[in-house]
Structure 1
């Protein structure tokens, strides 16, 4: 799978005062009517269950300026969740999930379905809020290294 280029995104949620964020490359559009996206999360991390518990998530599209933060949320360091969230400015849109203020785009989603496939949990979210900013150089991940597009 290292040869599969992916646009780097950050999926976030907050439930009962606990914030969770995960760097992902397995996320895409499913439908435009209603607007729906999907995100794949590894089931081996029990902390990812918070996305099901909350029932809402935000998909934050990252640019090249977010590389350090993407690495942190991917677990490439020993930062706590609060230290990771302190790396950027956050607000909320419709669902109350943390949204990255300078993300290229934010898709604020209501979880409408989830499926388990092999090692991953697939979240399907109906987009209930959207924010776009100026176009920026996309952050990609390919062959285990950061790239730009």
Structure 2
């Protein structure tokens, strides 16, 4: 089997990229699960709301989490090297908003009940599913770091329906 190597993004096409606002509008039409991504370790407790999360591989089990390098939580995730992707259930919009804003970390985490798996990253009680991960690799693209995360544990604590973000608002799935 041969492997093709991709050109750098800037060399892939002679056309100019679309304007930022046009791209953001297009991405608003791409529905996605709402997640709380959490970490804990030597650099402290941190968490943020994310929709830019996806499965990469099942061998080894790997997730992709996108994190803006200018985010206040970026240093904690980089230094701790572990995280948990907590997939939110229907009815957990308030937590999504809390973790998506400028609220202090202590207040964010005080708003819910948490447990821990092997890495020590916080696992949300009542999430649809939680994936406990080790950050295995980091790639920088544009304004974001792409965190390739090896899944070391899974908790399925509950929840009936999912929470999606589409067209700049939350939608519940039964």
* TM-score above 0.5: yes
Q: Which string of whole-angstrom CA distances, capped at 9 and with x for unpartnered residues, describes residues 28-51 of structure 1?
A: 111111111110111221431211
Counterpart-to-counterpart distance in 1, 2:143 and 2:161: 31
> Any gaps of 5 or more consecutive residues in structure 2?
1-26
> Any gaps of 5 or more consecutive residues in structure 1?
none
Counterpart-to-counterpart distance in 2, 1:25 and 1:117: 17
Root-mean-square deviation (Å) = 1.3
**Which residue number in structure 2 is paired with residue 120 of structure 1?**
144
**Which residue number in structure 1 is paired with residue 82 of structure 2?**
56
Larger radius of gyration: 2
For residues 12-51 of structure 1, what are the structure 2 equivalents within 5 Å? 12-16=38-42, 18-51=44-77
Higher strand share: 1
Counterpart-to-counterpart distance in 2, 1:11 and 1:27: 9
Counterpart-to-counterpart distance in 2, 1:79 and 1:145: 20
TM-score between the two structures when normalised by the length of structure 2: 0.80
SS at match of 2:171: strand
**Which residue number in structure 2 is paired with residue 102 of structure 1?**
126
Specify which structure has the bigger relative contact order, considering alpha-carbon pairs within 8 angstroms and separated by 6 or more residues: 1
Call closer, same or farther: CA 1:134–1:89 in 2, change over 3 Å.
closer
Shift of 1:15: 2.4
**Which residue number in structure 2 is paired with residue 88 of structure 1?**
112
2:126/2:159 contact within 8 Å kept: no
